[in-house]
Amino acid sequence: MTTLHNPLLNGFHPDPSVVKVGDAWYLATSTFEYLPGIPIHRSTDFETWELIGHVATRPGQLGVETVPTGGGAWAPTIRHHDGVFHLVITDAMGRGMLHFTATDAAGPWSDGALIVQQHGDETVQGIDPDIAWDADGQAYVTFSGLLLSGDLDPNQPMHLGIQQVRVDLETHRALEEPRSLWSGTGLMFPEAPHLYEIDGAWYLMIAEGGTERGHAISIARGSSPEGPFEGAPGNPLVSARSTPRPIQNTGHGDLVVGPGGDWLCVLLGVRPRSGTRAFSALGRETFVTSVTWADGWPAIAPVELSPRPRTRVEVRFDAPLDDEWVAVRRFPSDVSSREDGCLVLRADGSTLGDAQPVFVGRRQEHLTNEVTVRLDVSRGVGGLAVRYDERFHVEIESGAGAVTARAILGGLAQEWSRPFEGDMLDLHLASRKPEGGVGLVSTSDVFHLGATIDGERIELAEVDGRFLSSEVTESFTGRVIGVYAVEGAVAVHSWTAEGDDE
């Protein structure tokens, strides 16, 4: 019997979309300003998932080099039609609404064609696109009509509900002006539409309520991909709002037939901690839950927590980096190189507070987690950092005669430093469950920043982990832990990450 682990994909993996092809399932998630973009995971049992590649592996495919923080690759839909994989996505504040294709989900994928309006060359305005085909092969792109503009008040966004256009996939031009469809039960931000033909009926499933604590999934049914659609009597089908469930913000789901013919829903959620469960350290992750059908309507079970066992990752840099490594608005190969069995990063004048830092890292996958790197700083200054964005990061840095722990939290900065004249040391960044004390435990975790010098481990600082949570940073991403350089060149000899979710 298949074990449904939850999270299905640990760490920053939001907005999941899944498709079954043959005996395997393929799952895509959002990456925002990180590259390579849009990871593709594959499974043959829905239990073990392998990262087989990314959609955006070449410059220009997405165009996230200058997007603002939180922009970039938003909410993919992955589908398979006539022997070809299709993926549609919005490159928010970047290129616009894009359509990628590949004969192998591992890649290479096409450069991405812009889906343009019926008249003119402007992109179709909206986010979270879905793609589906009717019996005649006509492609429908259904999307959330959120108009993105730097001039819009984020508290009063211009939203047109769920919309749809028929598209000519040869020219990538809409064949009509956008039509409005069913937009849910009236909650804010109707988004993440997915359109399915099941047993002769068409179903339109959406998220609504916002991607925070009010997040929910609702569904409607009609006789045509164009509607009209009638909402299910049990809407919303799933939501964790106002419940004690350990997984909150559940929504943005996609339906698929799983192992043994049972229906499943993959969806995003968070695992908040603290006395009031206020802080989600890892951001939005991918989860899965079971689906049953009655009287032509699906019912989605509440999402149950079932974490994977403890994991340990050891990296030696005598081989190319695997696909888990990412960089910010650049590719890892743009900011690092392998030399003499080390990963070398050369500073270019940027810092972690800049849009394109010399930084390469991996997602934090566990609530309790520790990363250790062995670093040679004989030629420069750099270190080990956990990053949410340019304004929120915590690091331990060495070189130029010192080892320094630092917290940059929304414009506030604090440092703890001690002299170090050597070349080689181990840096440690640990995320640990807070110890009990007087009053309510009111944080997600505590960062412990340390260094091992000449065999002696020294703790430099502890930093409250709540400040690097999705609620405080208001980030769509999650924690990424990586190495960086700010002066000269630093060489990383080894990387070890170990963690669990106890």
Sign of the Cα pseudo-torsion (178, 197, 227, 76, in order): negative
Residue 444: both structure tokens together = 């997600």
The one-character DSSP state at 467 is G
Query: Quick one: which of 404, 366, 409, 412 has its CA closest to 271?
Result: 366
Rounded distance between C-alpha atoms, residue 239 and residue 235, angstroms: 10
DSSP element (H, E) containing 408? strand 402-409
End-to-end CA distance of the chain: 25
Which amino acid does the sequence have at 56? A
Task: Rounding to the nearest 10 degrees, give the CA dihedral for residues 457, 460, 462, 463.
Answer: -130
Encoded tokens for 51: 């990262």
Select from 323, 435, 326, 315 the least CA-distant residue to 372: 315
CA distance 480 to 34: 10
Two tokens, residue 10:
């640990």
Active-site annotation, residues: 15, 191
Neighbours of 167 (CB within 10 A): 25
As given in the structure block, the two tokens for residue 279 are 């802080």
* DSSP 3-state of 165: strand
